[in-house]
Structure 1
Amino acid sequence: MTLYRDVTDKPWNTVGLPDGIDPKPTFQAPNEKVALIVFVIVASVLFSLLTVSYYLRILWGGGDWVPIAEPAMLWVNTGVLIAASIMFHLALIQGRRQTSVRFPSAAALSSLTGGILTLLFIIGQNAVWQTLVQSGLTLQSNPANSFFYLLTGVHILHLIGGLWVWSRAQLRMMRKNDIEQTRLSLELCAWYWHFLLLVWFGLFYVLSTT
């Protein structure tokens, strides 16, 4: 009967893995990292399409494009965002070195500072918008204005989404949560802010040279 059972056995009908084989994840990375990579790819495509549309509107817009002089506040905001990205990277480094990342550890304080600087950047961008509106450069007055508000607005929306993840990381550092999960949150914030800083460099270059 053993020989008959071996011959007639149909392993493809077996549910699950054979005995002695342990399941392995498809990606050798946490799900959060994989999700961030996918999101960054999608966001990169979005910003690329917006930039291409920006240049196409300049070339084939019928001559109604009137460039605007970017307020000097944009340079200040850029410096603030650079500082925020640096603070998140410091939080990542300190979180890896320290045995505790709870408040008031250096990692927690660096992360908190990075979030506050990001809020200042958003406030500064809103101040730039208010300056343009008071100068008569409204959304409808010129295609260049519309694209300026669109590009900077989409960038701010991505920062606000990052702040939501950052706030969850802050809560983890206030509670007695798993230190590895907290370190993962710090890492995700750091790389996401680096990405958005690079995006802003690209947008700032495009807006200031056209």
Structure 2
Amino acid sequence: MSAILIFLVAILAIVGWWLSHQRLMSKPWLEVGPVTAFPETEAPVTHPAKIGLGVFLGVVGALFALLIGAYLMRMAYADWQAPPVPRVLWLNTGMLALASLAMHCAVVAAHARQRDNLRLALFTAGLASLAFLAGQLLAWRDLADQGYFVTVNPGVSFFYLLTAMHGLHVLGGLVALGRTNIRAWRGGPAAGLVLSTELCAIYWHALLVVWLVLFAVLMGWAANFINVCRLLLS
């Protein structure tokens, strides 16, 4: 239970900090005087789509926090046996990091109106993300070849569940990334393309953070860290 609370508090703190910087609670209609005299009461410059994405990512983060908390709590039972971590997960982590870096470069290129660089960066991000998903399937096949199926052990079931949930979010993001790629190749309003690229970049950065946490959990690093914290607090 303590692990779940720690993850939920961390997620809520991040979301709360981000929303607090959007001036959602400002009431400019209550101020008296010229508008220029109250610059802090102007409407938030953040696009509503970004706010919506931030709320969605907060929900996704809470979902993964609950799953990770359940994973750490289930480890305490005697029948728990974690499967061997396939080495391909290291390569998959590098692929997702490359995709996140490519999305950052895409945002820079979109703001600079560099269409060629934007197309290259978006294509690279999509290709690296597909490589990540392919690597996850290889990890599943590796476990299956060793006899680690979903029903063998709760630890194996959690491995499939966590990686499948994250893979579904990557797959869903590829749909939006594909549409952004199409818009970049067809041309169109620059403002809309910049916004679409920024939304994809935010989503991919979040996917990378979630995966790094999942990777640490699957490798056993998170459990070791929690045990050390408990020893220090006891």
* 2:99 aligned with 1:84: yes
* Candidates 167, 185, 210, aligned match of 1:156: 167
Q: Which has the higher helix share?
A: 2
CA contact (8 A) 2:183 2:193 kept: yes
1:17 matched to which residue of 2?
none
2:86 matched to which residue of 1?
71
Q: CA deviation at 1:196?
A: 0.5
1:96 matched to which residue of 2?
111
Q: CA deviation at 1:31?
A: 2.5
Counterpart-to-counterpart distance in 1, 2:171 and 2:194: 21
Letter in 2 for 1:130: R
1:128 matched to which residue of 2?
139
Q: How does 1:141-152 map to 2 (within 5 A)?
A: 141-152=152-163
2:214 matched to which residue of 1?
203
Whichever of the two has the greater Rg, that structure is: 1
Gaps of 5+ in 2: 1-41, 224-234
SS in 1 for 2:75: helix
* Candidates 38, 61, 72, aligned match of 1:44: 61
1:181 matched to which residue of 2?
192
Counterpart-to-counterpart distance in 1, 2:125 and 2:72: 33
Counterpart-to-counterpart distance in 1, 2:64 and 2:44: 27
Q: CA deviation at 1:26?
A: 6.7
- Which range is displaced more, 25-34 or 50-59? 25-34
After superposition, the C-alpha distances for 1:13-42 in whole angstroms (9 at most, x for unaligned) are xxxxxxxxxxxx975322221221111000
TM-score by length of structure 1 reads 0.82
Gaps of 5+ in 1: 1-24
Q: How does 1:159-174 map to 2 (within 5 A)?
A: 159-174=170-185
Counterpart-to-counterpart distance in 2, 1:150 and 1:165: 23
2:129 matched to which residue of 1?
118
Q: CA deviation at 1:142?
A: 0.5
Q: CA deviation at 1:125?
A: 0.3
TM-score by length of structure 2 reads 0.74
After superposition, the C-alpha distances for 1:23-66 in whole angstroms (9 at most, x for unaligned) are xx97532222122111100000000000000011112x3x1001
The size of the alignment, in residue pairs, is 182
Counterpart-to-counterpart distance in 1, 2:219 and 2:186: 44
CA contact (8 A) 2:118 2:184 kept: no
Higher relative contact order (CA 8 A, sep 6+): 1
Counterpart-to-counterpart distance in 2, 1:208 and 1:39: 27
Q: CA deviation at 1:176?
A: 3.1
The Cα RMSD (Å) is 1.7
Letter in 1 for 2:90: W
CA contact (8 A) 2:184 2:193 kept: yes
Counterpart-to-counterpart distance in 1, 2:163 and 2:43: 37
Counterpart-to-counterpart distance in 2, 1:80 and 1:198: 13
1:10 matched to which residue of 2?
none
Aligned-residue sequence identity (percent) comes to 38
Q: CA deviation at 1:83?
A: 0.8
* 2:162 aligned with 1:137: no
* Candidates 31, 45, 48, aligned match of 1:28: 45
